[in-house]
Amino acid sequence: MLFKRFYDDNLAQASYMLVCEKTREAIVIDPTLDVSQYTRAAGAERARIAHVTETHIHADFISGSRALAEATGATVHLSAEGGTEWGYADAAMKTASPLGEGSEILTGKIRLTVAHTPGHTPEHLTFLVSDLQRGEEPVGALTGDFVFVGEVGRPDLLERAAGAKGSMAGSAADLYRSLRKFSVQPDHLQIWPGHGAGSACGKSLGSMPQSTLGYEKLFNWAFADMTEKEFVAKVLKDQPVPPRYFAAMKRVNRAAELPAPSKSSQQLGLPELESALKAETPVIDTRAAAKFAAEHVPGTLNIPLGKSFLNWTGALVPENRDFYLLTEAESDDAVEATLSDLAKIGLTRVAGFFRADVLLDWKSRHGQPEHVVQVSPGELQDVLDKKKVQIVDVRAPDEWNRGHLPGAIHIPLAALPERVGELDTSVPIVLHCQGGGRSSIAASYLQAMGVDDVSNLAGGYERWAAEGHEVKK
């Protein structure tokens, strides 16, 4: 058996291709929309992609299962678990081979045996992989969003992203039972998870690409000896706020729809930038936070390109509106790469892009650009001693609970669009996160909404604590 892992850093997501060395047939599990990476890899191994499947209805990216099947003629296999309300839509299942507890997919001499492992989602499946040329017993498990390295999938998304009110506790209990059932597998079983560190599908995912069940039993908190009640309380505590695009991804992937094509994006100039801002159409400045803080066009939103770009763009930019990009990319290919990444989370309405030098044109017509004030911990302490300031902590709940600034209010960055009305804009606002990255985005978001007196705590909570200033727990 040939085993290949594909990892998308921008999604912190892993997909897999297994190839039978005897028949040269392949199966792909949890593909993204970048289907060419799988067809190229199959071609390099002289293999034919015969099967495509996925562990569950994804919330954090658009599934590439349908697109890959159309490109290769492969059979699509989807979970038939989860019930009529939360399983795949009927239209999706009409053209798919249904899977349930005990089902098998044979790819030459490779066998995938299905285990229904609800909890993260009701329809979630885990695939036990056997290399039949070596033996009947499974060598590993493709666990999707069920078991991660050091963590398990969050069971609150059905309620918090898909709107199933009151489902969190029940899903957490399902997850507890799934883990106990799965734990009887042999300790040598390799664990191949669907996500790594940085994913919003769990709290504290490890960075290692794989593990073993025996190792997870020793060091993954979820396998510790505890009651169902204790597990439910612990797994639901301090889960991060899901980005709002998760709800849209659930709808699209439940129907197994292909996404709408991206708009034909073209380079635009100052007149179009002025028109976009006048119409309050989002303009995302993708430059580094330090460059944006130094000078930027008023009304633009800063989300720097990098590993978190898709997560925060999906959290802050509505999927049902046109928007623009402002980029330092020197080539059209680099721009197209960004558009392709955005399409992975359903953001295809990029109406055009501006090169970064449009800032020079803007300054020649309008004068001084806007900037984000950076305050040091010492400067903030001096200000707090003299006047009223609203400190806003945009970190995740678990970070907040480990310690926070006195008098701060807690609004995680992903929740800012829904909770911005809670802010007192009549006083200066100082934003902070752990190190300064997320709060820089938050500061730009407030400025783009017209909040004037906004600043960013340089170095964030880490620097504040390191310099010995008071913290609360």
Residues serving a catalytic function are 433
In Å, how far from its chain's centre is CA 408? 27
Tokens of residue 7, six digits:
């990892």
Residue found by looking up tokens 């990255």 in the block: 437
Rounded Cα distance between 53 and 404, Å, is 44
Rounded Cα distance between 116 and 145, Å, is 12
Sheet holding 373-375, edge to edge: 373-375, 454-457, 429-432, 390-393, 409-410
Q: At what angle do helices 36-44 and 65-72 cross, to 10 degrees?
A: 50
**Contact (Cβ atoms closer than 8 angstroms) between residue 250 and residue 336:** no
Rounded Cα distance between 48 and 63, Å, is 20
- Burial annotation 85-110 (CB, 10 A radius, 16+ → b, else e): ebbbeeebbeebeebeeebebbbbbb
Tokens of residue 155, six digits:
């069971």
Instruction: Look at the chain and count its residues.
Output: 473
Rounded Cα distance between 304 and 293, Å, is 12
